[in-house]
Amino acid sequence: EAGVAQSPRYKIIEKRQSVAFWCNPISGHATLYWYQQILGQGPKLLIQFQNNGVVDDSQLPKDRFSAERLKGVDSTLKIQPAKLEDSAVYLCASRVGNQETQYFGPGTRLLVL
Amino acid sequence: DQQVKQNSPSLSVQEGRISILNCDYTNSMFDYFLWYKKYPAEGPTFLISISSIKDKNEDGRFTVFLNKSAKHLSLHIVPSQPGDSAVYFCAARGIQGAQKLVFGQGTRLTINP
C-alpha cells in the first residue's frame, strides 16, 4: 500500500513570496490533515478535511495560509505572502474511517529567507 | 498553552537496557494517547497507543503506561536497540476534538552500542 505522498520535499523562498505544497493521501482515506512542525517542537494542526469539507481550521493563519481539497483526494496548502517565521516542516497526514491512527507523509521542509 | 509536554528533550541509553520516555498532559478531556517515532527526513510513524480506559498496552518491545490521576504516560522500550534511535512524540486526542491530535515537543532517543 502506497503511503502519503508530498511534494516538493524542500523549498527555499524569500519572504513575501508565495509557495504551495501538495499532498496525496493514502487511497481511501477520507480524512486529511496539514500540520506545521517548527524546529524543536511537535507538529501543530493547521487544518483538517473530511472528504472535501473543512472540519477544523481554527489554527490556520487565514490571512496568509489557504488550503483546499478538491474532489476529496489531493490537497494543496498555500502560503501567500510568506514570512520568516513560516520556516518549518509541513506535514500531511491521512486517516481512514474511525481508526485513531494518522499516517504521515515525509513532509516538505520550507526555508524562508 | 502546551497541553502535552515532554520535558526531556533528549535521552541516551545503552543498547540492551530499558528506555523510558515520559509525557505529561494537562487536559483531563483527553481520552486517547499515541506515540509516534520520527527518523530524520521522514514523517512520524505510529508506534503504539492507549485508550484512557486502560492503564497499560503492550506490543512486543514497546509498552505504554497511563496514569490518569497524575495525567502522565510513559513509553518503555526493552531491550533498546540501535534502530530505536529517533525522536519520539506523544500525542493526545480530546473527546470533542474530531480526531484532532495535540503533540508534545518530542524526545530525541539515542541508543549507544
The pLDDT of residue B98: 59
What's the pLDDT at A98? 75
- At A108 the three-state DSSP class reads strand
Instruction: Write out pLDDT tens, residues A10-34.
Output: 999 999 999 999 999 999 999 999 9
Q: What is the pLDDT of residues B40-66, one digit of tens each?
A: 989 999 999 999 999 999 999 999 999
Q: Which residue has the cell 481550521?
A: A57
- Say if residue A43's pLDDT is above 90: yes
**Contact A55/B at CB under 8 A:** yes
Across the interface, of A42, A93, A101, the residue whose CB is closest to B89 is A42
Query: Is B43–A95 a contact, with Cβ atoms under 8 angstroms apart?
Result: no
A46-75 confidence digits (pLDDT tens)? 999 999 899 999 999 999 999 999 888 999
Residue A100 is predicted with a pLDDT of 80
Question: Which is it for the CA torsion A105, A106, A112, B4, positive or negative?
Answer: positive
Say what the pLDDT of residue B46 is: 94
Which pLDDT does position B41 carry in this prediction?
Answer: 87
Integer Cα distance of A111 and A100 in angstroms: 31
Using a 10 angstrom Cβ sphere, with 0-12 exposed, 13-18 middle and 19 or more buried, the burial of residue A86 is buried
Is the minimum CB–CB distance between A105 and chain B shorter than 8 Å?
Answer: yes
Query: Do residues B3 and B27 make contact, with C-beta atoms less than 8 angstroms apart?
Result: yes
What pLDDT does residue A72 have? 84
Could you identify the residue written with the cell 526531556? B8
Mean pLDDT for all residues in chain A = 94
As a whole number, mean pLDDT of residues A89-113 equals 93
**Residue A63 and residue A74: Cα distance in Å, rounded?**
23
Provide the shortest C-alpha distance from residue A15 to chain B (in Å). 24
Interface probe with B: pick from A100, A108, A109, most Cβ of B within 10 Å: A100
Q: Comparing B100 with A112, which gets the higher pLDDT?
A: A112
From edge to edge, which strands make up the β-sheet containing B72-77? B4-5, B19-25, B72-77, B62-67, B56-59
Q: What is the mean pLDDT of the segment spanning B104-111? A: 97
Contact between A100 and B34 using a beta-carbon 8 Å cutoff? yes
Q: Answer yes or no: are the C-beta atoms of A62 and A54 closer than 8 Å.
A: no
CA distance A12 to chain B (A): 16
Q: What is the 3-state secondary structure (H, E, C) of chain B?
A: CCCEECCCCEEEEECCCCEEEEEEECCCCEEEEEEEEECCCCCCEEEEEEECCCCEEEECCEEEEEECCCCEEEEEECCCCHHHCEEEEEEEEECCCCCCEEECCCEEEEEEC
User: Does A23 contact B at CB distance below 8 Å?
Assistant: no
Nearest CA to B88 out of B1, B11, B3 is that of B11
What pLDDT is attached to residue A49?
A: 94
Give me the pLDDT at residue A2, please: 79
Of the pLDDT bands very low, low, confident and very high (cuts 50, 70, 90), residue B100 is: confident
